[in-house]
Structure 1
Amino acid sequence: MMDHIEPDELAVLALDGREPADAVRGHLDTCPECLAEYDALVRTVSLGRGGVPVDELEAPPSSVWAGIHGELGLASELAADPLADWRTVVIERAAAPDGAPEAPADRPAGSERIAPVTPLAPRRRARWPIAIAAAAGGILAGVGIGVAVASLGGSGGGTSTPSPAVVLASADLAAFPGWDDATGHATVEEDADGERSIVVDLDAAVPAGDVREVWLIRSDASGLVSLGLLDGDSGRFVVPSGIDLAEFTLVDVSAEPVDGDPAHSGDSIVRGELVES
């Protein structure tokens, strides 16, 4: 019998958007626990891509956004709760006799179903809908959204340098066509507490409006995990505990447009295979 599917693998499946392979599908059909987690992640990804009506979600308190805002050190103009208007609409609907108040005359019917979007600082990808949905649903898991948690903490590295650290593996990052002048290197380190991190050094600029994102990719390209955004020439990224580096052997840095889509753009700058030290 197949063991439970790792949360990170479920997150990759949810982000991929394709029907799981037969073996995985068979396990999901017989394991309520894995199926529930997979469905929650699919729903979160769908929300981030605009596919779930926001009035079906439980509105988190304003303190959730305040905590996110403070943790990330966002600009003061982003301090307002982006779900404030949505929360008001949900409350109005719940209080109405028929549960569906009419839209104001100056607003098209049904427009109250759309949550407001707060503009982001130019150097960050627009991923707040996924982060907010994960916080509201209590599914802040590994990647994700794991794809989302790692990326929120990944700008500039996100963690302090562990000491002492043991080098587990390294990779020379080769440039892709169109990025001929790019050079890079990645090193996997493990600290005294057993936490693994990847230090990425990259010499490559991207066009204005794009950001650079660090990924781990399976050797057969069947799955990938976002570690976060690289801000500057070097960054340190925590490797989620459920990731097996014997499977996810490729380190990739891509150029990503700031368009709110968490998927890999397909525009890789550099990539290299980890080799054990």
Structure 2
Amino acid sequence: MPHLDPEELSLLALYDDWDDAVSRMHLEECPACASEFAALRRTVDAVKTTPDTSRLSVPGPQVWDGIHRELGLSASVREDPLAAAGQQGHLPPSAIAPPSNIAPPSNIAPPSATAPTPAIAPPTDLSQARAARKGRAWWQRSGTWLVAAAAAVVVALGGIWALNRPAQPLPLAEAQLTPLASFSATGSARVVEAQDGARTLEVQLSKDEAQGYQEVWLIAPDLSRLVSLGVMNADTGTFQVPAGLELSEYPIVDVSDEPVDGNPAHSSVSIVRGTLTS
């Protein structure tokens, strides 16, 4: 079963109402992806909580000097915004807000004291969002300092997650499957190899057109020899390739329509067929 890629998992973890029914159904069926999704959700939940700043050390003035120099900021923001906090030796909660000498954007109203913190929601109009940001420096945008801190946490944990994520199987060969006879289904197939050397054939079809049941085969170029890999009861299937079988000797992927007659031989009715190439 193909796993969800990191981008899909991130979107599902960030946005509770992200409309992707197929991916959410996949999470219910795939323990590996569900475990990674749960780890990402814990990270998102941690970022959304109010940080405990009582144990955070104040960086020295040389840090702000470096930021100011690298970004080419104006003289109006030359003063270290955390200088006052440095006298106390730790960061107060207000230290994560932008410096007081930088005015917030005029088109954003201050939040109400009693208003609940809104949940993260995906952008609805990218063109409007870009227009609203155009012409404003990053340090002038509302919430930038808090978002930057949250992003640092996400990036750090994301790196750990990526390092510990199981290695994805390496593709060895692929084939495009085209319909035969009176069939119209199309599809694809690929052979992947795991770290332990085990090989699997992953098959995907646009639809199931079998009158009986679908069976997957690897066939020699002259069609004189064939190996059955198993029954495919859906539009997709993953099958173990026998150890020692040379793909160069059996490069043809064939999905046949088999009658329920107890005969293990090929029915001679192929739905789709294609040749593996590396």
Per the normalisation by structure 1, the TM-score is 0.40
Tell which structure's C-alpha radius of gyration is larger. Answer: 2
TM-score, with normalisation over the residues of structure 2? Answer: 0.39
- Greater RCO (Cα-Cα under 8 Å, separation 6 or more): 1
